[in-house]
């Protein structure tokens, strides 16, 4: 039996409205019924559910208090909560005041219920799968996008972009300045990649200073070149004038020793399915990570494109032949 990924709170133990119960069954969402708000909060903290349904028709005060407690916690606050109320306007407003994400009156048209609940989950998935700083899709959506392109048989390039010396920048300036750099870089990626390929392109934010974008193979070199140029033009202005003019600053390594830290650069590792056959998204992400790691061994801002085929032999950055800045790795 699948573990529940939805919880139903009914302080009086009454069954859910029929339309809500049917929707849970039709969507094959296993759920567990609880009668106590303390149990609900404790259970939700242990295993973040996909959905919570709160029945506030008979005991609205206790039910809405449970909703409010869920939404005030930083861990469970992102869980979508649907509250079922009686038809009075005061109960409807009180549920939204308690931070409910959706409110269903008991006189709602049953046809509306599945439409509203489906939309609730779509909104929740969207909010969960995007990075809060850049508003770009996260790892789950990245993997889904790669899998969809593989299933469709499309030729595409997956490009893993990472910032060099970003941690040192954060240490010298602040996390606020670092977050601004991340937002600037996300805009560079989005504007260039989507500007070139529109709906044929995808830009995702893995986390931190790691991004992955996907686009048609034919334009990947042009896009990477523009990204590198735009980054090297704009990012130096995120430093003080003294650091920018010098082109470096002194920072401490893990041993506390001073060393020269160059200005940030960007490394992009690119993998395509022109000469390789991938069966699942993990293979693409693993090779893109390998190419990104190889790019980071080269000085300055650089992109490297893997041109090897399935029969190239060997894997890992050490197996790759040496290349020049902004070049492509060719199969030997």
What are the tens digits of pLDDT across the range 161-213?
999 999 999 999 999 999 999 999 999 999 999 999 998 999 999 999 999 99
Confidence of residue 12 (pLDDT cuts 50, 70, 90): confident
Q: How far apart are CA 64 and CA 100, in angstroms?
A: 9
Task: Enumerate the CATH 3.40.50.2300 domain ranges in the chain, comma separated.
Answer: 6-129
Structure tokens at 145: 């996008």
Residue 229 is predicted with a pLDDT of 97
pTM > 0.85? no
Provide the CATH topology of domain 6-129. Answer: Rossmann fold (3.40.50)
Please state the separation of Cα 213 from the chain's center in Å. Answer: 12
Percentage of the chain beyond pLDDT 70 is 92
- Beta-ladder partners of 32: 7
Q: Which residue has the higher pLDDT, 329 or 65?
A: 65
Residues, the chain: 332
pLDDT in tens, 122-154: 988 877 777 778 889 999 899 999 999 999 999
Give the torsion through C-alpha atoms of 104, 105, 109, 113, to 10 deg: 10
pLDDT in tens, 292-324: 999 999 999 999 999 888 765 444 444 444 343
| CB contact set of 6 (below 8 Å; sequence gap of 6+) | 24, 29, 30, 31, 32, 49, 50, 51, 52, 53
pLDDT in tens, 106-127: 889 999 999 999 999 998 887 7
CATH superfamily of 139-329: Reverse transcriptase/Diguanylate cyclase domain (3.30.70.270)
Task: Enumerate the CATH 3.30.70.270 domain ranges in the chain, comma separated.
Answer: 139-329
Task: End-to-end CA distance of the chain: give it in Å, rounded.
Answer: 52
Task: Select from 127, 193, 187 the least CA-distant residue to 158.
Answer: 193
Q: How far apart are CA 243 and CA 230, in angstroms?
A: 19
């Amino acid at each position: 039996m699948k573990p529940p990924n939805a919880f139903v709170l009914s302080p009086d133990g009454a069954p859910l409205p029929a339309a809500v119960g049917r929707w849970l069954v039709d969507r094959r969402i296993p759920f567990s019924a609880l009668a106590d708000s303390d149990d609900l909060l404790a259970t939700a903290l242990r295993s973040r559910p996909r959905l919570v349904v709160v029945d506030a028709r008979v005991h609205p005060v206790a039910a809405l208090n449970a909703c409010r407690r869920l939404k005030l916690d930083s861990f469970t606050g992102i869980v979508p909560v649907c509250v079922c109320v009686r038809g009075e306007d005061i109960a409807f407003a009180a549920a939204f005041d308690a931070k409910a994400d959706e409110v269903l009156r008991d006189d709602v048209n049953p046809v509306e219920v599945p439409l509203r609940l489906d939309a609730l989950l779509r909104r929740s998935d969207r909010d969960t799968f995007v990075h809060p700083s850049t508003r770009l899709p996260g790892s789950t959506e990245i993997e889904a996008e790669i899998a969809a392109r593989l299933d469709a048989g499309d030729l595409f390039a997956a490009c893993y972009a990472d910032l060099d010396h970003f941690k040192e920048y954060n240490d010298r300036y602040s996390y606020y300045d670092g977050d601004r750099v991340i937002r600037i870089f996300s805009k560079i990626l989005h504007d260039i990649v989507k500007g070139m390929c529109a709906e044929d392109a995808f830009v995702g934010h893995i986390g931190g200073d790691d991004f992955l974008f996907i686009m048609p193979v034919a334009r990947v070199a042009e896009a990477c070149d523009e990204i590198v140029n735009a980054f090297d033009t704009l990012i130096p202005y995120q430093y003080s004038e003294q650091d920018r003019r010098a082109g470096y600053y002194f920072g401490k390594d893990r041993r506390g020793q001073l060393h020269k830290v160059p200005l940030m650069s960007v490394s992009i590792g690119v993998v395509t399915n022109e000469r390789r056959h991938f069966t699942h998204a993990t293979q693409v992400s693993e090779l893109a990570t390998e190419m990104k790691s190889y790019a980071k061994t080269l000085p300055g801002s650089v992109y490297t494109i893997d041109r090897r085929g399935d029969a190239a032999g060997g894997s890992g950055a050490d197996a790759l032949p040496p290349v020049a800045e902004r070049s492509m790795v060719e199969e030997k």
